[in-house]
Copies of this chain bind each other. A is one copy, B any other.
Amino acid sequence: MTVLQRRDFLRGLAIAGCGFDARAAAPVEDPPAAATEAAQNVTRQLAHFVVASRPGDLPEKVRKEASRTLLNWMGCAIGGSHQDAVSNAIAALTPFAGSGQASLMGRRERMDSLHAALINGISSHVLDFDDTHLKTVIHPAGPVVPAILAIAEHRTVSGQDFLHALVLGAEVECRIGNAVYPAHYDIGWHITGTTGPFGAAAAVGKLLNLSEQQMTWALGIAASQPVGLREMFGSMTKSFHPGRAAQNGLTAALLASCNFTSSEQSIEAPRGWANVLSTAHKYDEITGGLGESYEILLNTYKPFACGIVIHPTIDGCIQLRKEYNLKASEIESVALRVHPLVLELTGKKTPQTGLEGKFSVYFAAALALTQGAAGEREFSDRLVRDPGIVALRDKVSTTVDPAIGEEQVRITVTLKDGRRLEKFVEHVVGSLERPMTNEDLEAKFVGLADGVLPPAQARRVMDLCWNIETLPDAGNLAKAAVA
């Protein structure tokens, strides 16, 4: 035995105990006193809040925002439901899944509740079009809604309780995200997948009426199942993350409901989630003002199906088109003053496919000026090659201007008759300052559902989302959204 082997063997001896761990039993370095104070009972305080919360506690604006989040999520899930990532996952897992329990949004197949949570989570994120809590870049609905939808088809859940659970799930994941962002994200974690299991566990746990003890365990079981490295961005595994987070949180709540035990300080313990997965953690962000503020009020929705850096350009062009009733044939040139990142990320001059079009601010401007929209449907191979749009695209020029903010653009359209039209976008649509209106969200939904659900059915799903609180059985929302 070499010295190294011997050291490892001793280490092994000390550790590989039965029912206890020598090093776990040894004293752990004490965190600073202040941190200790703040860190006491974080998990339990959160569990207590979730268990004690009542639907009537939620202010009306919170409930309204939650229904907007739900409608936006549903549109994304329906719109993404036939992407390869979704179809491949269904093909791979169907032989091992049950068939009767739960609906898959936008599709005909049914699966067991746990797999449905996974698949619907993938669908809802695969277009990168879902909601964003900008403070943490968490996509709050992705892990939460699929989990509670699956439960709502398994036992009767009122729409009021459903919406309440959605708010609580978003609250839990975003608060935990606030505590560790940006250090945790910077390390390389996909924060939606790592905080998502907590959100799903809390939301499902609420619907299962877990006790405070069980809720604490549910959060602990969730803590041991973080999902997602940012390294996966650009592959199908990115959209797997919110789906798996939903499934993991659902599993955690189900296990806890049968008294499957876990740590009771899973978030704040010296070897708990926050210390292991982040170099920084502000526990006050988790426990401060619980029930006084709601993170879902900070949720935002993407108006356009492309990289967010060109959203200001699209926004401004759509406004100009509408204000001046512009036609492509009238336009002599389009000059954009943009933030430097715009050209760095979306400077492609002659895109050839719909996907490439998402990386071309030139095409995006022409698209917005001619179509008045830039949804998934508009970023098509057909429109990228449309001669009229290509001609206009080639009339778009860009100037980088460091004075232009990332959420801003200054557009000058020169018409053939000599007129110059100006538009300065200070806050892009979809920001907290200029949120998408309910009508915007409906238009986005309609675009996403196009080709998947008939228009009348899409209308019905939207109505169910808006009226979710009045439904006696929230499971009917899931059933209404199948192809």
Check A38 for interface membership: any CB of B closer than 8 A: no
Check A1 for interface membership: any CB of B closer than 8 A: yes
Check A276 for interface membership: any CB of B closer than 8 A: yes
Check A123 for interface membership: any CB of B closer than 8 A: no
In Å, the complex CA distance between A273 and B187 comes to 11
| Contact residues, A105-162 vs B (CB, 8 A) | 112-114, 127-129, 132, 134-137, 154
**Does B16 lie within 8 Å of A302, measured CB to CB?**
yes
**Does B91 lie within 8 Å of A229, measured CB to CB?**
no
Task: Give every chain B residue within 8 A of A10 (Cβ-Cβ).
Answer: 405-407
Oligomer: number of copies: 2
Task: Give every chain B residue within 8 A of A230 (Cβ-Cβ).
Answer: 21, 24, 271
Stretch at the interface among A254-262, A439-447, A455-463: A254-262
Check A472 for interface membership: any CB of B closer than 8 A: no
**Does A13 lie within 8 Å of B309, measured CB to CB?**
yes
**Does B97 lie within 8 Å of A112, measured CB to CB?**
yes
Check A223 for interface membership: any CB of B closer than 8 A: yes
A16-B132, A260-B88 are known contacts. Are A271 and B236 too (CB-CB below 8 A)?
Answer: no
Stretch at the interface among A58-66, A237-245, A286-294, A365-373: A237-245
Q: How far is the CB of A22 from chain B (nearest CB, A)?
A: 6
**Does B231 lie within 8 Å of A272, measured CB to CB?**
yes
**Does B96 lie within 8 Å of A302, measured CB to CB?**
no
In Å, the complex CA distance between A191 and B300 comes to 37
Task: Give every chain B residue within 8 A of A112 (Cβ-Cβ).
Answer: 96-98
Q: Which residue of B14, B18, B259 contacts A302 across the interface (Cβ within 8 Å)?
A: B18
Check A93 for interface membership: any CB of B closer than 8 A: yes
Check A480 for interface membership: any CB of B closer than 8 A: no
Task: Give every chain B residue within 8 A of A135 (Cβ-Cβ).
Answer: 5, 8, 12
Q: How far is the CB of A178 from chain B (nearest CB, A)?
A: 10
Check A403 for interface membership: any CB of B closer than 8 A: no
Check A326 for interface membership: any CB of B closer than 8 A: no
**Does B259 lie within 8 Å of A88, measured CB to CB?**
yes
A134-B8, A220-B235, A235-B261 are known contacts. Are A251 and B93 too (CB-CB below 8 A)?
Answer: yes
Q: How far is the CB of A5 from chain B (nearest CB, A)?
A: 7
**Does A231 lie within 8 Å of B265, measured CB to CB?**
yes
Task: Give every chain B residue within 8 A of A265 (Cβ-Cβ).
Answer: 231
Check A189 for interface membership: any CB of B closer than 8 A: yes
- Complex interface bits, A154-191 against B, C-beta within 8 A gives 1, otherwise 0: 10000000000000000000000000001000011110
In Å, the complex CA distance between A134 and B52 comes to 46
A19-B358, A345-B20 are known contacts. Are A229 and B240 too (CB-CB below 8 A)?
Answer: no
In Å, the complex CA distance between A300 and B16 comes to 11
Q: For chain A, which range describes its interface: under 10, 10 to 19, 20 to 34, or 35 or more residues? A: 35 or more
Check A313 for interface membership: any CB of B closer than 8 A: no
**Does B92 lie within 8 Å of A21, measured CB to CB?**
no
Q: How far is the CB of A434 from chain B (nearest CB, A)?
A: 11
**Does B258 lie within 8 Å of A16, measured CB to CB?**
no
- Supply 11 further A-B pairs (C-beta < 8 A) apart from A18-B128, A88-B259, A188-B271: A5-B432, A8-B135, A16-B132, A16-B302, A24-B233, A96-B98, A96-B113, A96-B254, A221-B237, A231-B269, A236-B262
Q: Which residues of A approach B to under 8 Å, CB–CB? A: 1, 5, 8-22, 24-25, 85, 88-89, 91-93, 95-98, 101, 112-114, 127-129, 132, 134-137, 154, 182, 187-190, 193, 217, 220-221, 223-237, 240-241, 244, 251, 254-255, 257-263, 265-266, 269-273, 275-276, 300, 302, 304-309, 311, 341, 344-345, 355, 358-359, 405-407, 428, 431-433
Query: Closest 4 A-B residue pairs measured CB to CB?
Result: A12-B134, A188-B271, A92-B258, A17-B307
13 contacting pairs across A/B (C-beta < 8 A): A11-B134, A12-B137, A14-B309, A18-B129, A18-B306, A20-B359, A92-B255, A97-B112, A221-B237, A224-B229, A229-B271, A229-B272, A232-B266
